[in-house]
Amino acid sequence: MLGLFKQLQDFLKFDQVWIDNNIFRLHYKGTVIVFVLASLLVTSRQYIGDPIDCMVDGIPGGIMDTYCWIHSTFSIPTRWKIEQGKDAPHPGVAPLADMEEGEEVKHHAYYQWVCFFLFFEAILFYVPRYLWKTSEGGKIKMLVQDLMEPIINEDSKQSQIDTIVKYFRETRGTHALYAFRYFACEVLNFVNIILQIYFIDFFLGFEFSTYGLDVLSFSEMEPESRGDPMHIVFPKVTKCTFNKYGPSGTIEPKDGLCVLPLNIINEKMFIFIWFWLVIVAIVTGIFLLYRIAVLLGPQIRVALITVKGSKSTKRSDVEAILDPASLSFAEKLGDWLVLYFVCKNLDALAVNDLIRHIHKSEAGDNSNTETLKMKPQSSQV
């Protein structure tokens, strides 16, 4: 257990090199941690505590607990909105013999799988990060790692900046696929969280999608006509029928009540998960609109690079670097993204030096090209 928490602690540490953004991290760190902690909480209560207690005459408690845990319990949906202690001992509970025509029972078997389901959800939320980290291949780390040292002499700094400048000069226009993969993973984050909300909704019998709204509106309803949505989704008292042979060899159904203390944890945990997922989904959706503006706005891209530098960083230099006439739109986006990640990992002075050297290098290349064009060709004899 201590080893598990040590791994979780290591996971919480922020990566030294940025290859994404805070919204991306909200998915693969924040949301993953929420689901892992929820899974550990349920697991500790389920396998260390007592997740179910069933009572039935003539059947030992341990046998009944095991049987009802394996074969599921049930409640009666039409009896959820009743006056407890008067119409029935508990909401959703009534003798099968008293059921009216058309009434159905709802079986509850999900609680056996909650801890595994939550851990599986955590894995699914890490998938976009895994895909991006794998396809990124450590490119940014390779370029900036030496410049991120707390103490670095001027010669080493200049040498590393020259290396980055050389990389940009030699790989101009080759980062379109790099950018496509990153933007695809950002979209995948949004698609993933929407799908997971529907997946949880399916797992909980289609009661999760409006769960948070139902809980909020519960307090505003009249007491005699309201049914607690948390009790409907996570009933604390249910029924279980155990069939046994009687003295004459006939089957005798034994009706029992089951208390599910585990659902006290589940109801609070899933209401938090509902609000967390909805908030993260909304924030991610807004961020995607911002991302579209960045992709379609060259001046926004220029500004995002310029603000990473110092006051002496020239916007005109950044514009010249990001908008060469010889490159296509996709190639410009790719070069911008790589330069943006590089600048994001450097201090302002290093960014200023890098922009100045890249611009100087490209201006020198253009100057040499123009000189060659203007040089008169020797006449042939």
Annotate 192-210 with DSSP letters as a single string.
Answer: HHHHHHHHHHHHTTS-STT
Check residue 83 and give its pLDDT: 63
User: Three-state SS for 70?
Assistant: helix
Report the candidate in 264, 208, 213, 27 with the shortest Cα–Cα distance to residue 133. 27
**Residue pointed to by tokens 């959706």:** 285
Check residue 11 and give its pLDDT: 61
Q: Percent of the chain, pLDDT > 70? A: 86
Report the candidate in 21, 16, 93, 5 with the shortest Cα–Cα distance to residue 340. 21
How many Å apart are CA 146 and CA 244, to the nearest integer?
A: 74
For residue range 167-211, list pLDDT tens digits in order.
999 999 999 999 999 999 999 999 999 999 999 999 998 888 888
Check residue 63 and give its pLDDT: 87
Check residue 243 and give its pLDDT: 84
Q: How far is CA 50 from CA 231, 234, 360, in A?
A: 19, 16, 71
Band of residue 7 on the pLDDT scale cut at 50, 70, 90 = low
For residue range 250-300, list pLDDT tens digits in order.
787 888 889 998 888 999 999 999 999 999 999 999 999 999 999 999 999
For residue range 307-365, list pLDDT tens digits in order.
999 888 899 999 999 988 889 999 999 999 999 999 999 999 999 999 999 999 877 65
Which are the contacts of 98, defined by CB distance < 8 A and separation ≥ 6? Answer: none
Is pLDDT of 374 > 50? no
Q: pLDDT averaged over the chain?
A: 85
DSSP 168-192: HHHSTT--HHHHHHHHHHHHHHHHH
Q: What is the pTM of this model?
A: 0.86
How many Å apart are CA 227 and CA 53, to the nearest integer?
A: 24
Q: How far is CA 379 from CA 369, 373, 376, in A?
A: 21, 16, 9
Q: What is the side-by-side strand order in the sheet with 73-75?
A: 53-55, 251-259, 237-245, 73-75, 106-108
Band of residue 370 on the pLDDT scale cut at 50, 70, 90 = very low
